[in-house]
């Protein structure tokens, strides 16, 4: 049996909520599951408004749209992230500018962020909380205020992580979460926008449903998208929200297990924060050698994200770099972090890693 990096882990009630939608024939359009999934996210994160959509990438696209980012604008983004975080910048015709990480958080370096704000005056900043550990929010939130830059928190990987007791995703003007297949909770595919600003979420909901004006017939004054989450998929989300806290706890146990059993360096967790440890990431290995060796035992692992400023597709993009993300990419690896793993499986992974250290 293969040990996957971060497979789905159902809580038990997902099927029940899906069945309810079938019984009411609310297969479509929106329905109780969508509303209750949004309510569960609001209650959990403490953010006042939420909108369930078809993916985290769609959520970021909508965030940029409702903040008025368009052709010719500059958008700063963490370079050390997944492509879905930044491709929406190009969807709206804006220019992506990348900022490197610092060694103490692996997330955007506040000093470089300030340099980028001064030099490029971006309209918005998409800040990723990598692998479920939060960025230096104290510094970054005040820089965004000082320079008048709209903060979009990409909390796709960090649902359940907190800073100063407040949830990641609740610090920016808009936060986004992803429920893609390997995230800490999944709906098989989906995303969510959150904001305390009701008007922004209302506008996002309007754009997510083809920008349909309020008439009995189909009337359109602007172009929208088809980005809403289905009521069936949202049923999975409702069930998953019931076990989210357990998943965070188990992810952190898995991290502690690796850390106490392997002589490696691990991703730090900054002061005043509690990460969700979505993926345990370790340094001090030869990533490809270790990955291939783990494959011999049918164990999945993966290199760290390749920084965006090193991607061919962004070869012409501006970037403020210090070498950190490139260095981490060269010597780090993501280890299996599935919350259903047994101690026996963890022991097997640890023993297999030790064979090549």
By the criterion CB under 6 A, which residues form the site for ligand PLP? 55-57, 81-82, 84-85, 128, 154, 156-157, 178, 180, 191
Tokens at 47, concatenated: 């953010």
Closer to ligand PLP by Cβ: residue 168 or 180: 180
Helix or strand (DSSP H, E) at 201 = helix 198-208
Comparing CB distances to ligand PLP, the nearer of 52 and 149 is 52
Provide the sign of the torsion angle of the four alpha carbons 65, 68, 72, 76, taken in this order: negative
From the CB of 98, what's the least distance to ligand PLP, in Å? 14
Contact 227, 91 (CB under 8 A): no
Q: What is the rounded CA–CA span in Å between residue 112 and residue 109?
A: 5
The least distance separating ligand PLP from the CB of residue 33, rounded to whole angstroms, comes to 18
Work out how close the CB of 221 gets to ligand PLP at its nearest, in angstroms, rounded to a whole number.
Answer: 28
Residues 6+ apart with CB under 8 A from 106: 80, 130, 131, 133, 267, 268, 324, 325, 328
Q: How many helices (H) and strands (E) does the chain have?
A: 12, 15
Among 265, 292, 295, which residue's Cα sits nearest to residue 280? Answer: 265
Least distance (Å) from ligand PLP to the CB of residue 109? 17
CB of 289 to ligand PLP, least distance (A): 25
User: Do 297 and 277 contact (CB within 8 A), yes or no?
Assistant: no
Q: DSSP 3-state assignment of 20?
A: helix
Residues 21, 218: Cα–Cα separation, whole Å: 27
Residue sitting closest to ligand PLP (CB): 56
CB of 62 to ligand PLP, least distance (A): 12
Instruction: State the minimum distance, in angstroms, from the CB of residue 53 to ligand PLP.
Output: 9
CB of 85 to ligand PLP, least distance (A): 4
C-alpha closest to that of 150 among 63, 56, 52: 63
């Amino acid at each position: 049996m293969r040990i996957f990096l971060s497979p789905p882990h159902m809580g038990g009630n997902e099927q029940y909520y899906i069945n309810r939608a079938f019984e009411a024939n609310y297969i479509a359009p929106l329905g109780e599951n969508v509303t209750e999934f949004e309510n569960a996210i609001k209650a959990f994160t403490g953010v006042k408004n939420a909108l369930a959509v078809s993916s985290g990438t769609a959520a970021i696209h909508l965030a940029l749209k409702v903040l008025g980012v368009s052709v010719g604008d500059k958008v700063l983004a963490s370079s050390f992230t997944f492509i879905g975080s930044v491709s929406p910048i190009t969807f709206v015709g804006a220019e992506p500018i990348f900022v490197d990480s610092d060694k103490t958080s692996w997330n955007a370096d506040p000093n470089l962020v300030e340099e980028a704000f001064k030099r490029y005056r971006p309209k918005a900043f998409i800040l990723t909380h990598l692998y479920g550990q939060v960025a230096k929010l104290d510094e970054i939130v005040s820089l965004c205020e000082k320079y008048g830059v709209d903060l979009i928190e990409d909390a796709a990987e960090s649902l359940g992580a907190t800073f100063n007791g407040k949830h990641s995703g609740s610090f920016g003007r808009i936060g986004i979460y992803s429920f893609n297949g390997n995230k800490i909770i999944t709906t098989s595919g989906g995303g969510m926008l959150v904001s305390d600003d009701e008007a922004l979420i209302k506008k996002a909901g309007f754009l997510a449903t083809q920008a349909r004006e309020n008439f009995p017939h189909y009337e359109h004054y602007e172009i929208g998208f088809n980005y809403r989450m289905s009521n069936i998929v949202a049923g999975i989300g409702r069930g998953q929200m019931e076990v989210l806290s357990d998943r965070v706890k188990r992810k952190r146990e898995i991290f502690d297990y690796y850390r106490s059993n392997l002589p490696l360096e691990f991703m730090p967790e900054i002061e005043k924060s509690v990460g969700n440890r979505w993926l345990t990431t370790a340094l001090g290995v030869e990533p490809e050698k270790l990955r291939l060796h783990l494959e011999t035992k049918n164990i999945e692992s993966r290199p760290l994200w390749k920084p965006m400023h090193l991607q061919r597709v962004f070869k012409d993009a501006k970037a403020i770099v210090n070498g950190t993300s490139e260095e981490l990419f060269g010597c780090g690896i993501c280890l299996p972090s599935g919350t259903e793993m047994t101690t026996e499986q963890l022991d097997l992974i640890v023993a297999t890693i030790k064979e090549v250290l």
